[in-house]
Amino acid sequence: MTSPVFLVVLLIQGWSESGAWLNALIRTVLENIFGVKVVVADYLDGKGKLAQFKSHLTVEQYADTVLRYYLQAQFDYPRVPIMVVGHSLGGVIARRLCAEGYFPSREMVLVGTPNLGITYKSIGGSMLGLLICPLLWVLSSKYVCNVPAFRQLLRGSKFLKELNKDGIPQDAYYISGKNDTTVPSWSSDPHGIGSSVECNHHLFPFNGRDVESLSEDELDEADKSAIPTVVSIVEKKLAEIKTASN
């Protein structure tokens, strides 16, 4: 017997993960919530390690691929609400589709999303990076800056100016790592619409693993990641849906 689906969660991975979310811990955790169907938008062109560095696609082109996943989910699960969870670049893609009117911002969860842009030095492109690791500096110069989507995320880019021209949505959920600086702080309530909550880091660790396989130390690391907050937001949305249907 097929379990009922009350909520679809569309996961949009970050640029650096290259298919990792197909077997991500966050996916398996969410799939264990009764009534939730998880769809992973595997939008990156190319597979394998460092495949994203060979990409020639723009954020808009990535968004077109993600949109196909979203529309397919709508077709497969008509009248079922869809919550969109975007990590890093995935959050920028979610905002792009939201701005085009495909879903309201209150249905977005943005995790470690560079809403105000990134800087070249954040990937080792500073002069300090040249002194510490010349090879990394050269590779980042040669490959990363040749990726169209990366250039669009640089602070002050035309793309970001257009995306932020009407302001950053204030009714979405925002999750930031303790070192993130580009996440708006609308409130301190991690369970409310328009909230921004800080965790130890915004990454989703232990891809390819499930909770049962984690050691105590690994469980502690997972608890300090963005996973518990995403789960709490999804469970809150699920409860609202069930209440409204009664």
The CATH number covering residue 31 comes to 3.40.50.1820
Name residue 198's beta-bridge partners.
176
Q: Is 40 contained in some domain? A: yes
User: In the chain, how many domains are there?
Assistant: 1
DSSP for 48-85 reads STTGGGG----HHHHHHHHHHHHHHHHHHSTT--EEEE
Closest C-alpha to 36, from 74, 4, 72, 12: 4
Residues recorded for the chain: 246
pLDDT by position in tens, the chain (length 246) = 678 999 999 999 887 655 566 778 888 899 999 999 999 998 877 655 566 666 778 999 999 999 999 999 999 999 999 999 998 889 999 999 999 999 999 999 998 888 888 876 555 444 444 455 555 555 555 566 778 888 898 888 999 999 999 888 888 888 876 656 554 444 333 333 445 555 655 667 677 777 888 888 888 888 888 888 899 999 999 999 988 887
8 A C-beta contact, residue 39 and residue 137:
no
Flag whether 136 is in a domain: no
Predicted local confidence at residue 120, as pLDDT: 62
The residue among 25, 40, 26, 33 whose CA lies nearest residue 6 is 33
Q: Are 202 and 176 in contact (CB under 8 A)?
A: yes
Residue 151 lies in a domain: no
Residue 126, in any domain of the structure: no
Domain coverage including residue 227: 7-117+167-245
Specify if 139 maps to a domain.
no
Residue 17 is given by DSSP the state S
User: Angle at Cα 131 formed by Cα 128 and Cα 133, nearest 5°?
Assistant: 100
Count of Cβ atoms closer than 10 Å to residue 188 Cβ: 10
In a domain, 2, yes or no: no
- The angle, 0 to 180 degrees and rounded to 10, between the axes of the packed helices 59-76 and 89-99 is 70
Q: Are 45 and 16 in contact (CB under 8 A)?
A: no
